[in-house]
Amino acid sequence: SSRSCSKAALQRGRMRLSLQEHLWAFYHERVNISPEEQQAARHAALDICAELRAFIHTKVPDMQLRDMYLSGSLYHDLQVVSADHAQLMVPLILEKSLWSFIPGEETIMNLPGFWLVRRENLEYFPRGCSFWDRCLIGGYLSPKSVLEVFEKLVTGSMNWPAIGSVLGYVVRPAVPSHTEALTLSLEVQYDSERRLHVDFLPLLVSEDGVSLIGKPHRERENLWRQSFWSAETTKLLTLDRDDNGCRCVCLKIAKAVCKLNPALTPLNASHLANAVLLLSESERDWSREALAERFTQLIRALVGHLEAGRLPCALDPKVNLLCELTPREIDELGYTLYCSLSDPESLLRT
Ligand code: GDP
C-alpha cells in the first residue's frame, strides 16, 4: 500500500507540475504585456494628460484642483493582456473649514468603505464660497455632479479631433455602457490596432489621510468610495520584493482569467488583490515553485468568500468588497469558480 500511496503522490505531483507549467506558459503568452507596449501606452496617456492640464488651466483657472496625475496598474506592471487603460487622478482642493467627511457606517446607509462629504458652515460661508459648491446635492458633495462638470469640459468644449490630429491619435470621449456605473473616459487610438482608455478619477484626501474617489456606489450615487488602492499595491509589491515571491504573478493570472472570461468579469482587480493579500497572511511560501498551489488556493479562497457573501478588505476588514454585487452575481461567480476547482486549467482555456 505504501507503493500505491507513493504512486498517487507521484501522480499528484505530475498534475501539479503540469498545472504549474500551464500557468507559467499562460502568463508569458497571454497575461504579461511587453515593456514596449506598456511604454507606448504610457506615452499616449501622458500626452493626453498634458493637453487636459493645459486646457483646464487656461479655460477654468479658478477650478480648485491640484495637479492631475496618471496612475493605475499600467505604472506597476500589474496590467494584463493588453495595455489598454490608465486612470487620470484629478485631486480636488476642498477648503478645510467648509467640508467634512462622514464615514458610511455613521450614516443611515451603514456602509463601511463609502463616505459622505458634507458642506459645513453654510450660514457664514453661503453657497458659492467654494468652487465645488456647484456640485452640491442636498447639502453633500456629489461625485456624480463632479464628474458631470468634467464631462461638460472634456466632451463639450475640447476639440478632440484637432488635438488628436496634432498628436497623431484618434481621440474620442468614450460612452459608458449602460450597465456601467457613471464614468468619464477618453478613448485614445494611438496606433492602428491599439486603444487606450484614460479614465477620469476625481480624488479627495481628508486631513486624516483618507482617500476618496469619485467612482460612486453602484446604487447610491452620492457616496464617495474609499480608496485603498495605493496601500494595497504597495503592500503586494513590497511583500513580493522581500521574498522574491510570485503574488503579483498569481494576481495577474487571476486578473487575466477574469478579463478573458465573461462569466467572471464582475470580479475586479480590487477583489483579486485583496484575496491575494488575505491569502498572504496565512501562506508563507510564495516561491515560484509554489505558484500552482497558491493559484488553486486563491480560487478556493474566492469560492469561500463568495459562499459567505463576504470578502473583507485586507486593510480594513469592516469593508465588504462584495457589497455592491447582487446575490445572483455572487451565486454565478461562486458557481463558475467552484466548477473550475476540479480542473483549474479550464480557466486558462479562453
Ligand atoms: P486594473 O484596472 O484591473 O488593471 O487594475 P488597477 O489596479 O489599475 O485598478 C484600477 C481600479 O481601481 C480602477 O477602476 C479605479 O477606479 C480603482 N481605484 C481606486 N483607487 C484608485 C487609485 O488611487 N488609483 C487608481 N489608479 N485606481 C484606483
Beta bridge partners of 195: 189
List the pLDDT tens digit at each of the 350 positions of the chain.
455 567 776 666 655 558 999 999 999 999 999 999 999 999 999 999 999 999 999 999 999 999 999 999 999 999 999 999 999 999 999 999 999 999 999 998 999 999 999 999 999 999 999 999 999 999 999 999 999 999 999 988 899 999 999 999 999 998 776 556 678 999 999 988 899 999 999 999 999 999 999 998 888 889 999 999 999 999 999 999 999 999 999 999 999 999 999 999 999 999 999 999 999 999 999 999 999 999 999 999 999 999 999 999 999 999 999 999 999 999 999 999 999 999 999 999 87
Ligand 1 midpoint to CA 120 (Å): 30
Q: Which has the closest alpha carbon to 301: 318, 314, 316, 319? A: 314
Instruction: Give the position, in ligand 1's atom list, of the atom nearest the Cα of 215.
Output: 16
Question: Which residues lie closer than 8 Å to 272 by C-beta, 6 or more apart?
Answer: 251, 254, 255, 258, 302
Q: Give the mutation target among 87, 88, 205 for probing the ligand 1 site: most ligand atoms within 8 A of CB.
A: 87
Reported as type and span, the H/E element at residue 48 is helix 35-59
Q: Find out whether 201 and 230 touch, Cβ atoms under 8 Å.
A: no
Which residue bears the cell 464617495?
Answer: 224
**Cα angle value 113/115/120 (rounded, 5°):** 160
Q: Give the mutation target among 32, 115, 196, 201 for probing the ligand 1 site: most ligand atoms within 8 A of CB.
A: 201
**Residues 277, 279, 280, 285, CA torsion sign:** negative
229 lines ligand 1 (CB under 6 A): yes
225 lines ligand 1 (CB under 6 A): no
Ligand 1 midpoint to CA 69 (Å): 13
Q: How far apart are CA 11 and CA 136, in angstroms?
A: 64
**Cα angle value 238/241/246 (rounded, 5°):** 105
Ligand 1 midpoint to CA 268 (Å): 9
Ligand 1 midpoint to CA 203 (Å): 12
**What angle do the packed helices 269-282 and 247-260 form, to 10 degrees?**
150
Dihedral pair phi/psi, residue 240, rounded to 5°? -65, -40
pTM exceeds cut of 0.90: yes
Instruction: Give the position, in ligand 1's atom list, of the atom nearest the Cα of 78.
Output: 4
Q: Give the mutation target among 38, 79, 227 for probing the ligand 1 site: most ligand atoms within 8 A of CB.
A: 227
| E strands in the chain | 69-71, 85-91, 99-103, 114-119, 136-137, 140-141, 170-174, 185-191, 194-205, 211-213, 224-226, 312-313, 316-320
